Amino acid sequence: MEYGETQQAGEESFEVLILGAGFAGLAMAISLREQAEALGLPPERVAVLEREDEIGGTWYVNRYPGCACDIPSHLYSYSFARKPDWSRAYAPQGEILDYIREVAERFQIREQVRTGCDITSARWDEQAARWRLQAADGRRFSAPFLITATGGLSRPKWPELPGMERFTGPTLHTAQWDEAVDLKGKTVAVIGTGASAIQLVPQLAPRVGRLDLYQRTPPWIMPRADAPIAEWSKGAMRKLPVLSLLRRERLRWVNDIRSVAFLHWTGFMRFARLQAQAHIRSQIQDPVLRRKVTPDYDVGCKRVLVADDYYPALCRDNVHLHTGGATAIEADGVLGADGERRPADVIVYATGFQATRPLPVGVVFGKGGTDLAAYWGDCPFAYRGTTVAGFPNLFFLVGPNTGLGHSSMLIIIEAQARYVRELLRRSRAEGVREIEVKQQAEARYNEEIQAKLGKAIWASGCKSWYITEDGRNPTLWPGSTFAFEQMLAEVQWDDYELRSGAQGSRDA
Ligand code: NAP
């Protein structure tokens, strides 16, 4: 069926629009391109709209010194585009970005991508059964199907500290890095000690004059065991691709075993705590500093981090760790929880992302003009992380409750891309005008996973970006990657309404 009949003047019309050209958006575009004939969906009828001026998503945006992946590269890559020659066990940001670019070229996706396309509104047009999108620069697009692949961690979070606007020096955020700011020899305040900060601090410490690190809650950190991959190993994987497959599968199983610990945690996590405490003892001699960096919550409650160079960086003479966090910002420095005012030339916010509010209010509007972000409030939900009742023909990749604390998001992304492709295949094959998940199915699914999440380690009492103020968890998938794949292996068509005909008459 051709869906392009109701194009408006000045609007570019497509069959499918994908928002975001990061790992998820590109996987989706590749998946549709690979099956273009079977789907009757030529690549030129599918566009990928990207806000930035280059593809890569989080790996293009996050460019702070030290940025790297904390999931091993042989697992943090597409299963259909394994790379035999990763330079290290954990690849740095630049190498991951190069990989994404190379894959986009190889699968000819670049020609489908519109960069610099910041979508400011996406509205469901009920009469025409199309999504109508408006970009910040005035461009307009429409398509019957919209797939959002904008990532769960793409809106930087700034703390609400009094006086932030009064600071006169440069202000950076790890997710909005500006290479032009010269940090050499400067006094730099870093606020936050999450995954981004622990990668950044070891890189900044030798370059700056003094580094004041404001820690509110210490993270649990495990040894990283990162190392360059030997040339002979790369050569062997190039010659025998099955070796990279075996390596990937081994990593996947080892990581997935941890998901059991996150859900039924006690024994395993006690062992993990001993390991993490030993890591602190082996890298820090000063008992005061050891105490400061030792968390008082269970391992796994917040994201478990991996680093071998963070604790040694804290031991440097020019690095000073202040507990209790930053409480206010002044024109020339930071006020710590201990009441001390410390001057700073530059402030770096390593304060993370708005994970429980991945979408701002006023952007996505479904049936009856319902605003998706307002409808979600601070606890987004989606049936199988992919569809939301009231928002027909809208599919999410990396949607609510698809995040992982233990393994590679690429596995989740590929499973969702296959699932969405199947929703599209049947809709197109049968001339379905609207496909929408049933509200009861969505509510049942949401209840089930919230019940599981309520018993998991993430609900054991700490505060983290995984959970809302009132303790609900809209971010994580409570299980293994295998369980996620299995859930999405088949579409439960009874959970969907498929409507066809001009008025969207009900079919199934
Ligand atoms: P984050 O984990 O949310 O960390 C934010 C930090 O800011 C926390 O330590 C938080 O303390 C702190 N903070 C907030 N307000 C503060 C204040 N007033 N004073 C002092 N500290 C304050 O953010 P992130 O480090 O950017 O990481 C977010 C996620 O991105 C990670 O968990 C991970 O999923 C992803 N990431 C991945 C990689 C990778 O290698 N793959 C690298 C970076 C990030 P509290 O803990 O007390 O809230």
Residue pLDDT, tens place only, 212-254: 999 999 999 999 989 999 999 999 999 999 999 999 999 999 9
How far does the centroid of ligand 1 lie from the alpha carbon of residue 352, in Å?
4
> pLDDT, tens digit, for every residue of 7-39?
777 899 999 999 999 999 999 999 999 999 999
pLDDT at 47 over 90: yes
270 pLDDT higher than 90: no
Binding site membership of 153 for ligand 1 (Cβ less than 6 Å): yes
Condensed to tens digits (0 to 9), the pLDDT of residues 187-214 reads 999 999 999 999 999 999 999 999 999 9
pLDDT of residue 1: 45
The pLDDT value recorded for residue 267 is 75
Q: Tell me the pLDDT tens digit for each residue of 292-309.
A: 999 999 999 999 999 999
Share of the chain above pLDDT 90, in %: 91
Torsion of CA 164, 168, 173, 176, to 10 degrees: 120
Give yes or no for residue 271 having a pLDDT over 60. yes
In angstroms, what CA-CA distances link 485 with 11, 177, 412, 454, 491?
Answer: 37, 35, 7, 22, 12
What CA dihedral angle connects 489, 146, 36 and 139, to 10 degrees?
-160
The pair of three-digit structure tokens given for residue 96, joined into one six-digit string: 């991951």
Residues in the chain: 508
pLDDT at position 269: 82
Query: Does residue 69 have its Cβ closer than 6 Å to ligand 1?
Result: yes
Q: What is the pLDDT of residue 5?
A: 54
Q: Which residue has the tokens 């992304």?
A: 413
Return the pLDDT at 366.
98
Rounded to the nearest angstrom, the distance between the alpha carbon of 192 and the centre of ligand 1 is 6
Q: Average pLDDT for residues 147-159, to the nearest whole number?
A: 95
- pLDDT score recorded for residue 440: 98
The answer, yes or no, to whether residue 402 has pLDDT greater than 90, is yes
Hey, which of 73, 158, 171, 351 would you mutate to test ligand 1's pocket, going by the most ligand atoms within 8 Å of its Cβ?
351
Averaged pLDDT score across all residues of the chain: 94
pLDDT digits (tens, 9 = 90+) for 68-81: 999 999 999 999 99
Task: Tell me the CA distances in angstroms from 268 to 285, 463, 504, one per residue in order.
Answer: 27, 21, 52
Helix (H), strand (E) at residue 242 = helix 241-263
Q: Assess whether the C-beta atom of 408 lies below 6 angstroms from ligand 1.
A: no
The C-alpha atoms of residue 18 and residue 453 are separated, in whole angstroms, by 30
Q: Is any ligand 1 atom within 6 A of the Cβ of residue 450?
A: no
The verdict on the CB of residue 221 being under 6 Å from ligand 1 is no
pLDDT in tens, 424-443: 999 999 999 999 999 999 99
Cα distances from 298 to residues 218, 241, 266, 269, 428, in angstroms, run 12, 40, 9, 7, 48
Residue 4's pLDDT band (cuts 50, 70, 90): very low
Tell me the CA distances in angstroms from 196 to 210, 219, 298, 406, one per residue in order. Answer: 19, 12, 21, 17
